[in-house]
A and B are shown apart, each in its own frame.
Chain A
């Protein structure tokens, strides 16, 4: 009994890691842009599709497909960033909502248009289970955990010490001041956005071997799950996002086991609504904090 609970918790942490890598990009974008990116899950989908294409059509190895997936996403994100995200600097919140909803529609349906709407099978990855401390866990899941930790430690360091990180913090504090002291705000937004999209793609290619199925609508589902996470994490807050993602991952896996699998995907929004009612500005902080 206890061991199944523990197993579900471990599974939940793996799921939480997947969400965390996606959500952290979304929350950083919010930090610099003050806008929610409703298309963020689509970059997760693009990464997965890129990798699937590399494995299935080009016959590349899984390792190479990771690179292909992420690079393809970066290219798309660069175009979207140049054409759309830069324009969102200083625009009202509603414009951001509508513009990113539009991008989500375009990306998702363009992929369905090109590759068809059906489910595709992802072959590749390290699915061999190994056992640690009495648990049997697929290697891929361990990889996800490790990458998640590396990503978050890396982001902490980057935000604290690198030029881009410092610029990001500055922009998230006060856009007008940044413009006065000569920080190129649209450039910071563009780079943060591409970084976030690349992280979402990374999460996608890492999860593909575990989820196996690849389809055009998968990004939307991820967007719907990351939205509650970044709100609960306190918009713009990297550490809060990490914890919120873990909480959601664990909650989902427990609900799937003990309440019913069909309720898993609603946990996020149900908690989100409750949290919003209780604390309209999120759980962990009221301001952007990197």
Chain B
């Protein structure tokens, strides 16, 4: 756990800076190392990493198991898609709007849902996905129903006199990488802040946290909204990447995917989520597994994670960080 300091023993060399440099170089060079399909797989992994970061704040740090992530992912996708298609607003406006709208919708949904405990909460959040899909199918005047929104333009920037579009897989990759890096930093900043400590306190023992003055209800609501912001931003990128948004964006399967990323990578650690999205989304995408086989594999992943591999890759990643950080 990132918040539990390990006992400091004989220090070895601190390799964090060289490691960061290597990672940056690999991330930047990736489109030129691998094939176009690898770049595509990395883009998908980066897109799913965003809602997964949000989910990690909720599940890994605050201890709330939620399936609602796909709903906010869909809301973000539709918000960005509608703005881009109808008003032609620049990409960054739509990106921010997608996050803000998802976060804002999370408030009225979170207030009743967070009153529920464990399984009831899970089911309620599942309900949000199902109802989101029904609304996107049936509010035809807004969403064009089953047809979905198509023809979302390339991400378009307008910065003062400069205006340009991001076109091509490689350039989109850099865009996704930049947003992914920012989101990872944001998630890291949140969990490193005193609020992050309060979130862990809520996960460990809500009543005790409450008795020590932590307004648990407010924190849970804020984290639920933050998780939706992350998901909304991911949805926006997804809409731009696919250039279409359909009611299928509201899929329980997406929520499951995000859960596997978080739990498999190691809940309650930021690097776990990054690793999880590369492993569970990037790798399966790159291997071109058929959707059915992938879902079967995900199913087995869930079983393995629940019964045998409870902490996911967290212990491994922790050991890795200790070696890198110079702690024996």
A and B touch in the complex (CB under 8 A): yes
Complex-state Cα separation, A216 to B300, whole angstroms: 18
Report if B154 contacts A (CB, 8 A): no
Say whether, besides A105-B256, A108-B295, A269 and B116 are in contact (CB < 8 Å): no
Complex-state Cα separation, A272 to B123, whole angstroms: 9
Report if A166 contacts B (CB, 8 A): no
Complex-state Cα separation, A113 to B122, whole angstroms: 28
Closest chain A residue, CB of each to CB of B298: A105
Residue among B65, B117, B124, B253 making CB contact with A273, cutoff 8 Å = B124
Say whether, besides A99-B302, A272-B123, A280-B115, A262 and B137 are in contact (CB < 8 Å): yes
Chain A interface size range: 35 or more
Report if A215 contacts B (CB, 8 A): no
Chain A 10-22 near chain B by CB (<8 Å), digits 1 or 0? 0000000000000
Say whether, besides A276-B116, A276-B124, A106 and B256 are in contact (CB < 8 Å): no
Closest chain B residue, CB of each to CB of A87: B307
Report if B324 contacts A (CB, 8 A): no
Closest chain A residue, CB of each to CB of B252: A220
Report if A183 contacts B (CB, 8 A): no
Residues of chain A contacted by B307 (CB below 8 angstroms): 84, 87, 95, 99
Report if B303 contacts A (CB, 8 A): yes
Q: Is the CB of B305 within 8 A of A98?
A: yes
Report if B148 contacts A (CB, 8 A): no
Residues of chain A contacted by B263 (CB below 8 angstroms): 98
Q: Is the CB of A277 within 8 A of B115?
A: yes
Say whether, besides A110-B296, A227-B126, A262-B138, A276 and B120 are in contact (CB < 8 Å): yes
Q: Is the CB of B302 within 8 A of A102?
A: yes
Residues of chain B contacted by A231 (CB below 8 angstroms): 120, 123
Tell me, rounded to whole Å, the shortest Cβ–Cβ distance linking A95 to chain B. Answer: 5
Say whether, besides A93-B118, A94-B118, A280-B120, A104 and B299 are in contact (CB < 8 Å): yes
Q: Is the CB of B302 within 8 A of A105?
A: yes
- Chain A binding surface, main DSSP class: helix
Residue among A102, A104, A108, A272 making CB contact with B300, cutoff 8 Å = A102
| Interface 9-mer from B127-135, B178-186, B236-244 | B127-135
In the complex, 24 of the A-B residue pairs with CB atoms within 8 angstroms, ordered by the A residue number, are: A84-B303, A87-B307, A93-B119, A94-B122, A95-B306, A97-B65, A97-B122, A98-B263, A99-B306, A101-B259, A101-B302, A105-B253, A105-B256, A105-B296, A106-B300, A108-B295, A109-B299, A224-B126, A227-B123, A231-B120, A273-B127, A273-B131, A276-B124, A280-B116
Known: A102-B298, A110-B296, A117-B292. 15 other contacts (CB 8 A): A35-B119, A84-B307, A94-B122, A97-B122, A99-B306, A101-B302, A102-B301, A105-B256, A106-B296, A109-B295, A110-B292, A269-B127, A269-B131, A270-B127, A280-B116
User: Which A residues form the contact surface with B (CB < 8 A)?
Assistant: 35-36, 84, 87, 91, 93-99, 101-106, 108-110, 112-113, 117, 220, 224, 227, 231, 260, 262-263, 265-266, 269-270, 272-273, 276-277, 280
User: Which B residues form the contact surface with A (CB < 8 A)?
Assistant: 65, 112, 115-120, 122-124, 126-127, 130-131, 134, 137-138, 252-253, 256, 259, 263, 290-293, 295-296, 298-303, 305-307
